[in-house]
Amino acid sequence: DSGVTQTPKHLITATGQRVTLRCSPRSGDLSVYWYQQSLDQGLQFLIQYYNGEERAKGNILERFSAQQFPDLHSELNLSSLELGDSALYFCASSFQQGSGTDTQYFGPGTRLTVL
């Protein structure tokens, strides 16, 4: 158990809908990272927040957005869902703002299925 929690575990929805994925980092960690894992794209970094502020952006679509709240939990919002958004979404956390030596600890993931 990494100490990172993600809810829900599974999510099934229809195209065009909007969903919110939630992540609680390990106690004391200030950074939260979101990743998407799909069969065709592999594991891709989406976005990072550090202490409430966006720190780095990866291959995140404009239909996706995220935020980190004062209690440091984070939410990833996915809107106008398409079939291709079906994937496993991981959250990771680390103590620092993302120095190269800062190990990221991963949650169990949320599996999103878009029908």
Partner 1 sequence: AQSVTQPDIHITVSEGASLELRCNYSYGATPYLFWYVQSPGQGLQLLLKYFSGDTLVQGIKGFEAEFKRSQSSFNLRKPSVHWSDAAEYFCAVVPYSGTYKYIFGTGTRLKVLA
Residues in contact with partner 1 by CB under 8 A are 2, 4, 33, 35, 42-45, 48, 55-56, 58, 90, 92, 98-109
Q: Mapped to the 3 state alphabet, what secondary structure does 40-87 carry?
A: CCEEEEEEEEECCEEEEECCCCCCEEEEECCCCCEEEEECCCCHHHCE
* Spatial contact of 38 and 58, defined as CB atoms under 8 Å apart: no
Decide whether 80 or 113 has the Cβ nearer to partner 1.
113
* Spatial contact of 77 and 85, defined as CB atoms under 8 Å apart: no
Q: How far is the CB of 4 from partner 1 (least distance, A)?
A: 8
Decide whether 45 or 73 has the Cβ nearer to partner 1.
45
Q: How far is the CB of 73 from partner 1 (least distance, A)?
A: 17
Which residue bears the tokens 């958004």?
A: 85
Decide whether 35 or 85 has the Cβ nearer to partner 1.
35
Q: How far is the CB of 102 from partner 1 (least distance, A)?
A: 7
